[in-house]
Structures are given as C-alpha cells and as structure tokens.
Structure 1
Amino acid sequence: MATPLIFAADRSMTDTHASPAPPVPHLRVIPRDVHGVSRKQMSPNALRVLYRLREAGFGAYLVGGAVRDLLIGGHPKDFDVATDATPEQVKALFRNCRLIGRRFRLAHVVYGREIIEVATFRANGGDDEGDRQTDDSGRLLRDNIYGTIEEDAVRRDFTANALYYAIEDFSVRDYVGGYDDVQARVLRLIGEPEARYREDPVRMLRAARLAAKLDFSIEPATAAPIPRLAPLLAEASPARLFEETLKLFLAGHAVASFEQLEATGLLPVLLPETAQALAANSSGALRRMLVQGLRNTDRRVANDEPVSPAFLYAVLLWPAYCRALAQLQAQGVHLAEAQRRAADRVTLHQLARTALPRRFSLPMQEIWLLQPRFSLRQRKRVFRLLAHPRFRAAFDFLELRLAASDSHAEDVAFWREAQLHPTAATVEPADAVAGVDAESVSPDAAEPDDAPRKRRRRRRKPGGGA
C-alpha cells in the first residue's frame, strides 16, 4: 500500500540558514490507563537500565521509536533510554557499558546480543558554543551540550519520536504534541522544517522511511521543503547514506520506501543513475522489475528469511546498468566488454553517493554478468554455470526479470529443470545467442565462444625408441 504524501499548497519558504528559536515545550502527562502501554511489552534489559538509573538518583525514561511503536501496537526491536546522567556516570553504573560516538556521545549497555542505548538529555546551544558545532550551511557537526528533558524534547527530529515513558508512574510524557500526532498517524518535524533539514539533511530520508514504515502521512509543512532541499543530501557522508539505504529497503517496507523516495524527489539524489534510467524507460519495464524485486525483499523479511545487500543493490542499480550497457553497445563496444565496463561504470558512479563495500559490489556485478550465460545451453556450459558459487542468486535475478519481459520464460523453465535433473540438460547448438536483452538492451550480440578446443596431437620425435 502506497503511503500518502501531503504537500502544502503555495507555501512560500524563506531561504535563510539562521536557526529560529526552538518551540516552547508544554508538558502533557498521559496516564497508564489512557495510553495502554505495558512493561510486559518492553525489553527486560531496558527495564533493568531504567530501574538502576532511578535507584542511583537519576531521571530515566524509555524514549523515541520504542514508545511510538508501542502506542500504535507495534513490536519495537530497539529500546532506547534518555537520562540526566552523563555518559561517564552511566558507565560508572554498568560494568557492561561502553561509550561511543564523537558527534553524539552515547553509552551502550550490552546484554549479550542486545544493546540498550542510553543518551544524556541534550540542549540547543548557540552555534559553536561549548561542545556544539555547525558549519556555514547550518549542518550539525557535533552536539554534546547537555540539558533538561524539556530541552531534549524540542531538539528531537519528529514529534512522534519525542515521547518519554516514565518508569516511576508508568505515564507517557509529551512536550511537543507527539501523542496526538501518533494517534492521527502524522509525521511532523519539531521546529522550522527548512532549518531542521539544513541542520541534518539525512532527516529528509528519515521522513520518507518513517512515513513508509509506519504508514503515516507527512504533515504539509514538513513535506513541502523536501523536493527543493533534496540536493543537500549529496553533502552527507557516503557511509551514512549506505546505512540509511539499508534501513529503507531491508526492513520490510521497501516498496513503500521506494514510492516515498519518488514522491519526495529524493530518488535522483540517492540513486541518480537509476532515476535517469527509469525516466528514460518509456515502457516502464525496468520499474516493474525493480518494484517486484523490492516486493520479494519485503516478503523475505516478513518470513524471517535472509536478505542480501548485494542482491538488493543488483536490483536497485539494474536500470542504470541496462542504460549504460545500451549506450556502450551503441558506441560499437563488443557485448562482453560492454558488460564489464557498464558494471564498473555504474558501481563507480554510485560509490560517489553511497559507500557500497566491495563485499557487496563484487557479488552484485557477478549477478549481472552471469545473466547472458543463461541463454547458452551447451552441456559443458550448463554444468559450469550450475557449479558457479553465485548461480542461485543469478538465477533468482533471472526469474525476477520475468516481471519486465516474458522473453525470459524459456530460459527460466530450462534452468529450473536443469537444477532438478542436471544430467538431462538440453544440448543446444554452439552458436546459441547470449545477451542481456535487459528489457531495454539489444539482445542480438553474442557472448565470446568458450567451447572446448580440439586437442593438438604431439608429434613423435624422430629416432625415439619405444
């Protein structure tokens, strides 16, 4: 189901980098019998952290996404804690604690495979004041000014994420209207939207991701600046954008996330060459295949099956690869060479935007480069491809291409049978056609022939004895 996106009509925005004054917090206490959240729904380890902090005399609250998700009947995977204790004071209370982060100093309390993140209340200080630093555009570089719970609430990103569960009376504390927004399923930024996006451009991706994940609408003033400010994402760290991409597409709501990226104008910034290829593909075949791939990913996540970033990026960048391959073939480059060059070109260009590790980019390229070999059915080649370590992923990708074109149906049927009965695999003539018809690329070029060569007989030396 596509998540609705709401834009404000004829909203004028001032292009100022100055941060406006933060909103004034107003405390609203929602009692246990109203909000319905129970400690039975929470992580026992998070409760241990909350109780120990309280026993030591500190304020401690469950905060953020966990509270939000519990209010709408969800099942949070992560439980974060906010406190007035400094990171060093938290570490002194827990032997299983480590301090991380420079931009935001945090305490991680480790219980086996579960990590309870503990953050100290933060305040909004002036630019370059104390341990808070911004650049000339307003982007936040470091923020370690500690404050009160009221100050902490108004500096969070969305109202839905600024709710605090108090362990002493089991109430929910709301300072910015987040409780009503959660009930209305609305995503709203705290403060002036443009200033908040300039402070951290990745918030635009978070807005799209949370709207997709929660099936929330984006409040008009929050949505309006995103298409215009989307280019600011190019200034974000490629490593951080890679992490955000995985959160967008590997958390069970990939299709809705993709539709949000298209609607908000963020897709051309996050996946620029894919966006260009989709715009140029008038038949829509490449988009159909991409969406089907994301739909399959959502199904695997729902079934608790493994998902691979390499396969995900093979799907996301396939339109860009097809377009680059077609351009190289139009320039007269031989198919096999064009395939390698297109794969390298697309990977290199995407690395400028997201830090795609080699452990994912190399398997991604293998999945692409194996596609033409599914049209070659000589017996030796069949066995060679079946034994390839990337065969299963490449075959799954071939099946996925049926969403774009039924021209692959015969190949899919053959290789399904070949996996069940490899010794009975059909032998085709040696000049079988191989190519990525790619839903947009010419299929007429052939892969270089790698048929076994006839063995040369060695000449017997004259005068040799037996």
Structure 2
Amino acid sequence: MPTNAPSIQTSLRIIPRDQHSISRKGVSPNALRVLYRLHEAGHRACLVGGAVRDLLAGLEPKDFDVATDATPEEVRHLFRNCRLIGRRFRLAHVVFGREVIEVATFRANIDDGSGDRQVHDDGRLLRDNVYGTIEDDAVRRDFTANALYYDIADFSVRDYVGGFEDVNNRVLRLIGDPETRYREDSVRMLRAIRLAAKLDFGIAPDTAAPLPGLAPLLAEAAPARLFEECLKMFLSGHAVASFEGLERHGLLSALFPETAAALAANRSGALRHMLIEGLRGTDRRVAIDEPVSPAFLFAVLLWPAYCRSLMALQAQGLNTVEAERRAADRVTLHQLDTIALPRRFSLPMQEIWLMQSRFSQRQRKRVVRTLSHPRFRAAFDFLVLRRAASPAHEEDIAFWQEAQQNPDTAIAHHPAVEPESGDGDTADAPRKRRRRRRRSHAAGE
C-alpha cells in the first residue's frame, strides 16, 4: 500500500565555489575517485552529509559518504572493489584497503507502490529503498546540517532545506515535523544529542521540545543498536557534553534508568561528580589517541546504580561479599533490558567494581593476589577516579601506588599492612604453617 510522507517545502540555494570553504584538498582521495568515476559515467555524484557539514564547520571529517542517482547495482558495475550491503537501506560500499566509501542512491519519501518501503503502524521506518531525485533525498535526511551536497560537477554546495545557514549559525535542526521524525526512528533523539555535543551546536527549540516526552520510545529500539550509539556518543571525545545533553533533554532516565535514579537520590552530588570526572578522563584519552575500554566506560556510567543497589542489599542484612555480587549482577541484568552490553565488556566491568573492596585489605597474600589480578590496572584507575567523590580513598591510593613499584617494600614497611590472621611475624608465617601441617600428619600415622 502506498505510503505518503507529509510534504516538506524545499528551496534550492546554490553556493558557488568562491562562496564556501570546502576544498578538494580536505576530501579523501578515494572519495574523489568515486565521485569522478560516477560523474564520468554520466551519473550525478555529490559528497553528502557529515563530511560536507564538518568541512563547512572547520572540522576534519572521518568518513566520506557519496550520494548519486546511480542504483546500487549500477555502482557495483562501475567498481570492482564494491559490495552491496543492507536490507533496511540498500547501500554500496566501495573498499579501498581500510577506507570504505559509502555510496547511497538518492531516496524518496513518497512511495507510489513501485519501491521497497515499509513503515510500522507506530511510525517506525522498517525499510526505505524507494529511489528518487536529489530534492527527494534532501528532505528525507534527518538534520538540515546533514542535507548539504558538494557537487563534483561544478564544486558548488547545494542546499535544499536551509542547512548552509544552520551550519553557519551552529544550530542542529530536524527536517520536517520533529515528532514524526523521532517516531520514524527513536535513535534520532540520541543522534541529536551526540551531534550537538560533537559539533558544539545548539539544538533548535522545535527540535528539542519533543525529546522529554518521546524518551520512552527508546525502549522500542534494538538494544544492540543502542549499545553502538552509546559507543559513538561516549568514545568520540565528547562524552561529558553528551552526558550533559542527555540530562538536559530528559533522555538519561530512558537510556540509563538506574543511574538516573541513583544520581537523583544522591543529594551530595558526589556520584555525579565522579561520573563526570570519569567521562572527562575518557575525553582526554581520546584527544591524545589513547584507547578507552568500553568495560571501563560502562563501569563509570553504571557505578551510581551499583552503589545504590549495594546499599539497598546491605540494608537487608546481606554480608558485604554477597551484596556486592548481587548488586553487580542486578545492575547488569537490568541495564541489558535497554542496552545490549556484551559479556566481554560486562564481566570486566563487574570485576572492576568487585575489586574496589580489595583495596582496603592489606594482608600479605591478598596484596600479592590483587597485584597479579588481570583487571588490577583498570580497577586501580577506577579507585583513583573515586577520589573525585571522596578523599577517603587517599590512603588506599598511596599504598597501592607504592605496591606497584615495589610490593615487598610496601608490604614490609607500610603501617596499614596486616599480617595473616593467626600468624605472628609475617615473614615467618609460611614456615610456621608448614610445621603445623607436618605435626598433624605425623600424629595421624
């Protein structure tokens, strides 16, 4: 059955080469190869989306996408190094070693029945493979800043929905009715937060207004997709701004419900201060091109929820060890309802949490075991981060810093180190236990 989207008015504005800041020097040579070959074959070919937006905003794009009137099959015919992917959105990927240039055919928002478009009853777009003109393609994109086309034919920028002005004014604005566009794809709400944080753009009032009310729609998104969106949001160098955007626009409780509840209940603000400091550290590492583990990231994001759950279980009378394990399992399980956190990250995340109580234990064997634990370094870094919430961890931090440099010296001389229970002099303890075992064995013969 034909599906008709609401009509969106367009007005073409052509910005000639001498009136915009895009230079081919800033464009990937491989993207230029794709653009020129499509153009030479008689097809319209434009650089589109984030690359155009970033170049106009003075940023360096990481990806270069191409839009064309060639169908995916025609693109594959032109490039031997091409593969077709996707069912929801049929795309061509032209592969140059590690770089992939994504080529999409101009799509239309109106299906006359001849294309492949499917919309769920609640407005979600399930498939969108109805091809059209460049004008059609512009209005079906999400934000005006992403609907700009750098035309290889004359090196102009073509703007159909006011995106050029919005980029200049540093404003993120949805194309069409915001509520309708969010219902088509609820993850657009997170994308709005992420792009505003990355670009340091404001979100237009009409684009921001529906966010709090539509936040529950995120529960309908695939948890695996939300996990990927979280990685983009928090591991791209703009984690603090993204988190603050989630808070400001009412989306935090939909994405991290137990963390949001714990932060609201923490009157001192210490947990939030620690979380923000952790995200700030993540941004610093990304800025200097150092790796950040998703396990550590989610340990930071879910720590407030873990602390709140731990306190509740201890209040029920559970001993510390059991309460810690149950709290870690409970928080992880509940979060999986929203975000599909893989076990290769959730298990190390839990180990980081559970090791925190070990840092106050100074018995000789426990010190040695803790230092040799494969998650020690991440757990210790997390302990250092906890200092942002409370200075009470200073003594533990000092001891373990020394223990990493010279464990024997730390164990022998640090006043807080305790001997093993029931032993006298720590250095002689193993020999005494061996003598006791031999006597017991002899008595039994």
Question: Is the pair's TM-score, using the shorter chain for normalization, greater than 0.5?
Answer: yes
Matches within 5 A, 1:99-178: 99-126=84-111, 130-178=115-163
Q: Tell me, yes or no, if structure 1 residue 36 matches structure 2 residue 21.
A: yes
Q: Tell me, yes or no, if structure 1 residue 459 matches structure 2 residue 441.
A: yes
Q: Structure 1 residues 128, 286: CA separation in 2 closer, same or farther (over 3 Å shift)? A: farther
Separation in structure 2 between the aligned mates of residue 35 and residue 133 of structure 1, nearest angstrom: 38
Aligned-residue offset at 1:421:
1.4
Q: Structure 1 residues 20, 429: CA separation in 2 closer, same or farther (over 3 Å shift)? A: same
Query: Which deviates more from structure 2 when the two are superposed, residues 300-309 or residues 452-461?
Result: 452-461
Matched residue, 1:55: 40
SS in 1 for 2:396: helix
Q: Tell me, yes or no, if structure 1 residue 429 matches structure 2 residue 439.
A: no
Matched residue, 1:13: none
| Contact residue 19 and residue 195 of structure 1 kept, 8 A | no
Aligned-residue offset at 1:22:
2.7
| Contact residue 288 and residue 403 of structure 1 kept, 8 A | yes
Q: Tell me, yes or no, if structure 1 residue 390 matches structure 2 residue 379.
A: no
Q: Structure 1 residues 109, 230: CA separation in 2 closer, same or farther (over 3 Å shift)? A: same
Counterpart among 306, 310, 324 of residue 295 in structure 2 = 310
Counterpart among 178, 183, 187 of residue 193 in structure 1 = 178
Matches within 5 A, 1:175-254: 175-254=160-239
* Number of aligned positions between the proteins: 428
- Matched residue type, 2:110: G
| Contact residue 364 and residue 418 of structure 2 kept, 8 A | no
| Contact residue 127 and residue 134 of structure 1 kept, 8 A | no
1:6-42 alpha-carbon deviations (Å, 9 max, x no partner) = xxxxxxxxxxxx9762312211110111102100001
| Contact residue 25 and residue 175 of structure 1 kept, 8 A | yes
Aligned-residue offset at 1:431:
8.3
Separation in structure 2 between the aligned mates of residue 304 and residue 459 of structure 1, nearest angstrom: 59
SS in 1 for 2:131: coil
TM-score using structure 1 length: 0.89
**Cα RMSD (Å) of the superposition?**
1.8
Separation in structure 1 between the aligned mates of residue 420 and residue 220 of structure 2, nearest angstrom: 50
Separation in structure 2 between the aligned mates of residue 317 and residue 368 of structure 1, nearest angstrom: 10
Separation in structure 1 between the aligned mates of residue 443 and residue 315 of structure 2, nearest angstrom: 52
Separation in structure 1 between the aligned mates of residue 113 and residue 180 of structure 2, nearest angstrom: 16
Matched residue, 2:425: none
Matches within 5 A, 1:413-424: 413-424=398-409
Separation in structure 1 between the aligned mates of residue 410 and residue 273 of structure 2, nearest angstrom: 31
Unpaired runs of 5+ residues, structure 1, are 1-17, 433-450
Aligned-residue offset at 1:383:
1.7
Separation in structure 2 between the aligned mates of residue 282 and residue 129 of structure 1, nearest angstrom: 58
Aligned-residue offset at 1:377:
1.4
SS in 2 for 1:142: strand
Separation in structure 2 between the aligned mates of residue 296 and residue 110 of structure 1, nearest angstrom: 34
Separation in structure 2 between the aligned mates of residue 59 and residue 258 of structure 1, nearest angstrom: 40
- Matched residue type, 1:116: I
For CA contacts below 8 A with separation 6 or more, give which structure has more relative contact order. 1
1:379-399 alpha-carbon deviations (Å, 9 max, x no partner) = 222221111111100000000
Separation in structure 1 between the aligned mates of residue 286 and residue 185 of structure 2, nearest angstrom: 29
- Matched residue type, 1:199: E
Separation in structure 2 between the aligned mates of residue 461 and residue 229 of structure 1, nearest angstrom: 76
Matched residue, 1:3: none
**Could you tell me the percent identity over the aligned residues?**
74
Matched residue, 2:426: none
SS in 1 for 2:60: coil
Unpaired runs of 5+ residues, structure 2, are 422-428
Matched residue, 2:396: 411
| Contact residue 286 and residue 292 of structure 2 kept, 8 A | yes
- Matched residue type, 1:417: E
Q: Structure 1 residues 118, 426: CA separation in 2 closer, same or farther (over 3 Å shift)? A: same
Q: Structure 1 residues 127, 199: CA separation in 2 closer, same or farther (over 3 Å shift)? A: farther
- Matched residue type, 1:422: P
1:139-182 alpha-carbon deviations (Å, 9 max, x no partner) = 10110001110000000000000000011111100010000000
Matches within 5 A, 1:317-336: 317-336=302-321
Q: Which structure: greater helix fraction?
A: 2
Aligned-residue offset at 1:348:
0.6
1:274-324 alpha-carbon deviations (Å, 9 max, x no partner) = 001000111100000000000000000001111110100000000000011
- Matched residue type, 2:190: L
Aligned-residue offset at 1:126:
4.3
SS in 1 for 2:441: coil
Matched residue, 1:442: none
1:347-374 alpha-carbon deviations (Å, 9 max, x no partner) = 1111110110111001101100111111
Aligned-residue offset at 1:130:
3.4
